[in-house]
Amino acid sequence: MSRLQAEWLKNLKQNIAVYEEDLRQKTGLDFPGIAAAANGISRDVICKAAQRSGIAVVSVTAGKGEIGGFAQSVGAILSQAGFHARVMPYTDVHGLYSAHTTPDIDFVFLADDDTYIGLDLNRRRISENSRATARGFVTVLETMCPGGLTDKDVLMMGCGKVGAYATEVLLQKGAKPVLFDKTPAAQKLGARLELPLCSEREEIKHYSYLIDATNEGGWLTPDLLHESAIIAAPGVPLSLTEAALAKHGDRLVHDLLHIGTLTMLGELCC
């Protein structure tokens, strides 16, 4: 997955209610609903947790440095889900310590260059974003597919960390994943899980259901997609060209942070 860039996040907070409504139209789920469904729990569990749980978001400046707007964007997503979320005034270890010593903080969200996590300070539990993103987007695809995913061929595009986790979730749900990646990752994952491969881009159009966890951006043209393709796309940047987006956008769910963060939130509320 690509490292997020500040310019990608600049309008996230302003557009968050519009995104939630679009998600509701496509999946039938709002933010608390996504958090719940991706973790197999009731929406009421999320709503009750929102009434009693405070969340701190801590910026991290280590490595390549703080991503401008990241903490604010995470805070906006959690707030839209009904939680009291605040961005801590301090960064790094000081920020985490400050969150830990603030009486009404129960969860902490923070990320460095490699790992994005949510912490439950009270129960010593953790949620990791790559696994959560995979589970969340499989859930999204499941809600958009008539009759669910059982016995459905699903093209898993991109077999890195998120793609590998998503493939395992697809198998748990009774789907039949087919793997596609321009690197040897698909062959390695396919050999481990005994799954078939899609070896050529031209074969992509044979699949109605897709999860796109690739990170190239702007390469998936309309002629490469099935006429009625349903796509859950955690990959950043988005693979679809503008023409493909215009044709398939009403059957596409894609975001930078929302679904992964919400799934992390739901896991901490379990």
Q: Is the pLDDT of residue 1 over 60?
A: no
**Is 1 inside any structural domain?**
no
**Contacts of 115 by beta carbon, 8 Å cutoff, 6+ apart:** 128, 129
Digit-coded pLDDT (tens) for 241-264: 999 999 999 999 999 999 999 999
The pLDDT of residue 2 is 64
Digit-coded pLDDT (tens) for 162-200: 999 999 999 999 999 999 999 999 999 999 999 999 999
Backbone angles phi, psi at 100, to 5 degrees: -65, -35
Domain match, 28 and 79 both: yes
- Evaluate whether 93 touches 110 at the Cβ level (below 8 Å): no
The pLDDT of residue 100 is 96
The pLDDT of residue 6 is 76
Domain match, 196 and 148 both: yes
Structural domain for 49, as ranges: 6-129+258-269
- Give me the number of domains the chain comprises: 2
Domain match, 65 and 164 both: no
Domain match, 215 and 136 both: yes
**Is 165 inside any structural domain?**
yes
Domain match, 146 and 209 both: yes
The pLDDT of residue 206 is 98
Domain match, 124 and 150 both: no
- Rounded Cα distance between 118 and 57, Å, is 9
**Is 233 inside any structural domain?**
yes
Output the pTM of the full model. Answer: 0.96
Domain match, 148 and 248 both: yes
* CATH number for the domain that contains residue 116: 3.40.50.12150
Domain match, 149 and 122 both: no
Residue 111, helix vs strand vs coil: strand
Digit-coded pLDDT (tens) for 139-170: 999 999 999 999 999 999 999 999 999 999 99
Domain match, 44 and 159 both: no
Q: Which of 149, 26, 12 is nearest to 80 (CA)?
A: 12
**Is 116 inside any structural domain?**
yes
**Is 29 inside any structural domain?**
yes
- Evaluate whether 225 touches 246 at the Cβ level (below 8 Å): no
Cα angle for residues 58, 12, 32 (degrees, 5° grid): 75
* CATH number for the domain that contains residue 159: 3.40.50.720
Digit-coded pLDDT (tens) for 41-86: 999 999 999 999 999 999 999 888 787 889 999 999 999 999 999 9
Cα angle for residues 220, 196, 211 (degrees, 5° grid): 35
Domain match, 149 and 71 both: no
Domain match, 45 and 20 both: yes
Digit-coded pLDDT (tens) for 100-120: 999 999 999 999 989 999 999
